[in-house]
Amino acid sequence: MENGGNRLAWRASVLAKHFSQIPPSPQNALAGVPCLQYGSPEENSGKPAFDITVMRKLMDGHSVEVRDQCFELMRKNELFHLKTGGSTTFLGVDYGALLHTQREITMERLMYMRDSGVFKGLLTVNTMEQYLTTSAVFECMSLFDHSLSIKAGVHFHLWGGAVLFLGTKRHHDKWLKVTEEFGIRGCFAMTELGHGSNVRGIETVTTYDPTTQEFIINTPCESAQKYWIGGAAQHATHTIVFSQLYIGGKNEGVHALICQIRDSNGKICPGVRIADCGLKIGLNGVDNGRLWFDNVRVPRENLLNSVADVTPEGKYVSSITDPDQRFGAFMAPLTTGRVTIAVAAVYQSKVALATAIRYALSRRAFAMTPNQPEVLLLDYPSHQQRLLTLLAKSYAMSLAGNKLKMIYGARTPADAKTIHVLSSGLKALLTWHFMRTAQECREACGGQGLKTENKVGQLKGEYDVQLTFEGDNNVLMQQVSKALLADYFSSLKRKKPVKSVGLDHMNAPRPIIPAKFTSDLLRNSKFQLALFQLRERDLLERLAEDVTQRVSRGVSPAEAANQSYQLGCRLGEAFSEKQVLEAHLAAETEQTGSIKDVLGLLRSLYVLSVIDESPVFLRYGLLTSTQSQIIHQEVAALCGELRPHALALVDSLGIPLDLLGPIASDWVEHNSYKNVLA
């Protein structure tokens, strides 16, 4: 008891002393503890080493004034403003709004742009200037909201493009101007529940009744229902129906007709059934729907007849006798979509990178030594390699997208195959690049990347569909390789030089790669191009040998190519990445001074990071492990050299600051409690 009593007395004494102390005031408790002070990217960067205005013009490629006017139109209307708290107005979308609300506000935004004259001449003026203006407008809409650009794209590029390219004067006179004015609202019914990429296999059936001179459209089974049709669920009044055309009992293949699905009051037309595809992981401002047709009759004149026609008596006529060529002509509207998607993907990569890099130039984490300031995220070599390699690729791909647009805008019928191959490969390459960029930027922004107002995380769901629509990326890459393989086999058979797009180098001796790599050699543009050409040549020769061996064992040529898909996809990637490099080199050659110097650094980082990440060079012995290690080290060195230019390069992308999320600006002020209450 005595020991216990002493212990209790001791504890009571300790508690008494504790309670007798005067607690310090909050002010005293925080004395000497500094709060984090926001430092802007501009404060943490040096003066630009090159002219940002010149670089921006190079990146956009054209119509800079049109783009600025388009952004200004958005600023003038609250339909485009995102309420995030505080006094700063951001351009953006409320992704948390109800499905119906997102769809209606997307339509309201389109009508505002129509009323502002943005779409004037889009379908009725056929000049290069109009084409480039249209491209710029769509790229601005895509930067603001994917739903806005896709809603407009379905109406103008798919519906309007089908009327323009597949129709003739009677269709142009009746439909193009009214389409520009949104007097009707068009959609594009190609994809079915059972068939997407394989358009030849669609099951919707159209027959002809010569007694009434009408076509009759039917959905014969559930797998034939038209699916994912943008605009069909709510707003569209007319659609282009792709179906198997039967004339006199003979299937003449896939053809396109104009069909009304709603009247001007929104009432669904007789024989048409419509259902909603519902909520999606993104793109919810577009009302995707499903369509069924039950003996729906349309006038004979509604057949889009630039490729083939049916006479009043019911005779099928076409100037293209080859069914494969005829089918290819019907796929023309998709080329526009692939070009648009490829370019839009690069612009979205720019949004993600501009946000993540600006944040990395203002956010600090950890100190290298005690009592020293925390380090800017972008001063960590690991963070540089995460973001600056993607920035270099985005620059190169932006130049490739600009070149593709110019080729497409100046196209002739003879360019059809070249454009198909180029657009297919670049659509796949650039959209894959975007998804990787969006994910890396989301992670690089930490928890802030998860907030929809900061966009980088939301971009993944909004643009994921780019990898699927207008052609699955893996299918497109195999189409590229099959086209290259066919031309290669043809040249061997004819014992003539290879003339396929981009394969002229195959007629020259195989490049010889020096054993010793130096920094100067690795940054040499001729050496870089030779490496990319070597990879493409090696993969094409391997694919040809693989297919030939399979055919010699009794496998059909089509199945042999199918079984060689791994080589085929890698060849498609090699071809497309080489096209990107060639576009970069062409643009770089036209520049001088500091712009040319920085473009050289970007090009080298693009090339060497592609090589560093591609297993093909080591897999097939194009490089040794020692050479590969030297390239790996050079990538890190290039990232360090580009670090001082990071902000200037981001500013040159031409993305308005109010179009980026709050973390691209003063994120401390934005998240202050007073802004919470605002």
Q: Tell me: the pLDDT tens digits for 557-572?
A: 999 999 999 999 999 9
Q: Does 496 or 601 have the greater pLDDT score? A: 601
pLDDT (0 to 100) of residue 408:
94
pLDDT (0 to 100) of residue 9:
61
Mean pLDDT along residues 602-609: 98
Q: Does 182 or 370 have the greater pLDDT score? A: 182
Residues 6+ apart with CB under 8 A from 289: 229, 231, 232, 233, 234, 236, 274, 275, 276, 277
pLDDT (0 to 100) of residue 2:
46
Are 522 and 631 in contact by the 8 Å Cβ rule? The answer is: yes
Residues of each domain in the chain carrying CATH 1.20.140.10? 330-497+520-659
Beta-carbon count within 10 A of 631 CB: 19
Q: List pLDDT tens digits, range 515-557.
A: 999 999 999 999 999 999 999 999 999 999 999 999 999 999 9
Helices 146-153 and 128-144, axial angle in degrees (round to 10): 140
**Whole-angstrom Cα distance, residue 113 to residue 144?**
13
Burial class (CB in 10 A: 0-12, 13-18, 19+), 613: exposed
User: Taking 90 as the threshold, does the pLDDT of residue 12 lie above it?
Assistant: no
What pTM was computed for the model?
Answer: 0.92
- Residue 520, CA atoms < 13 Å, CB-side half-sphere: 0
User: Taking 50 as the threshold, does the pLDDT of residue 15 lie above it?
Assistant: no
Encoded tokens for 305:
């007849």
pLDDT (0 to 100) of residue 330:
79
Pairing mode, strands 186-189 and 238-247: parallel
H/E run at residue 550? helix 525-552
pLDDT band at 16 (very low <50, low <70, confident <90, very high): low
Please name which of 561, 567, 564, 600 lies closest in space to residue 584, comparing C-alpha atoms.
600
Encoded tokens for 56:
């921006």
Active-site hit among 192, 470, 577, 634: 470
User: Taking 80 as the threshold, does the pLDDT of residue 86 lie above it?
Assistant: no
Instruction: For Cα atoms 326, 331, 337, give the angle at the middle one, nearest 5 degrees.
Output: 165
pLDDT (0 to 100) of residue 47:
94
- Tell me which amino acid residue 424 is: S
Average pLDDT of the chain is: 92
**Whole-angstrom Cα distance, residue 447 to residue 459?**
15
pLDDT band at 3 (very low <50, low <70, confident <90, very high): low
Encoded tokens for 549:
């061996």
**Whole-angstrom Cα distance, residue 169 to residue 484?**
36
Please name which of 534, 542, 519 lies closest in space to residue 574, comparing C-alpha atoms.
534
User: Which range is least confidently modeled, 104-113, 312-321, 494-503, 531-540?
Assistant: 494-503
Please name which of 466, 410, 417 lies closest in space to residue 437, comparing C-alpha atoms.
466
User: Taking 90 as the threshold, does the pLDDT of residue 291 lie above it?
Assistant: yes
Mean pLDDT along residues 289-310: 97
User: Taking 90 as the threshold, does the pLDDT of residue 214 lie above it?
Assistant: yes
User: Which range is least confidently modeled, 7-16, 438-447, 646-655?
Assistant: 7-16
Residues of each domain in the chain carrying CATH 2.40.110.10? 186-323
Query: b vs e for 446-476, b when ≥16 Cβ sit within 10 Å of the residue's Cβ?
Result: eebbebbbbbbbbbbbbbbbbbebbbebbeb
pLDDT (0 to 100) of residue 499:
84
User: Taking 90 as the threshold, does the pLDDT of residue 171 lie above it?
Assistant: yes
pLDDT (0 to 100) of residue 8:
59
Provide the sign of the torsion angle of the four alpha carbons 559, 562, 566, 570, taken in this order.
positive
DSSP 574-623: HHHHHHHHHHHHHHHHT--HHHHHHHHHHHHHHHHHHHHH-THHHHTTSS
pLDDT (0 to 100) of residue 29:
42
User: Taking 50 as the threshold, does the pLDDT of residue 447 lie above it?
Assistant: yes
230 a known binding residue? yes
Please name which of 38, 649, 640, 39 lies closest in space to residue 353, comparing C-alpha atoms.
649
Please name which of 154, 162, 126, 124 lies closest in space to residue 138, comparing C-alpha atoms.
154
State yes or no: is 590 an active-site residue.
no
Q: Does 98 or 18 have the greater pLDDT score? A: 98
Mean pLDDT along residues 564-583: 97
pLDDT (0 to 100) of residue 35:
76
Encoded tokens for 556:
């059909």
User: Taking 90 as the threshold, does the pLDDT of residue 48 lie above it?
Assistant: yes
**Whole-angstrom Cα distance, residue 253 to residue 343?**
32
Are 453 and 445 in contact by the 8 Å Cβ rule? The answer is: no
- Tell me which amino acid residue 48 is: P
User: Taking 90 as the threshold, does the pLDDT of residue 24 lie above it?
Assistant: no
Encoded tokens for 401:
């997208």
pLDDT band at 327 (very low <50, low <70, confident <90, very high): confident
Q: What SS3 class is residue 10?
A: helix
Q: Does 32 or 598 have the greater pLDDT score? A: 598
Beta-carbon count within 10 A of 527 CB: 16
Q: For 264, phi and psi rounded to 5 degrees? A: -65, -15
> Among residues of the chain, what percentage have pLDDT more than 70?
94
330-497+520-659: CATH topology is Butyryl-CoA Dehydrogenase, subunit A; domain 3 (1.20.140)
User: Taking 90 as the threshold, does the pLDDT of residue 265 lie above it?
Assistant: yes
pLDDT (0 to 100) of residue 322:
87
CATH architecture of 186-323: Beta Barrel (2.40)
For residue 298, list its beta bridge partners.
Answer: 215
- Tell me which amino acid residue 489 is: F
> Among residues of the chain, what percentage have pLDDT more than 90?
84
Mean pLDDT along residues 159-174: 96
191 a known binding residue? yes
Mean pLDDT along residues 323-343: 84
Please name which of 454, 435, 446 lies closest in space to residue 377, comparing C-alpha atoms.
446
Phi-psi region of 253 (alpha: psi -120 to 50; beta: other; left: phi over 0): left
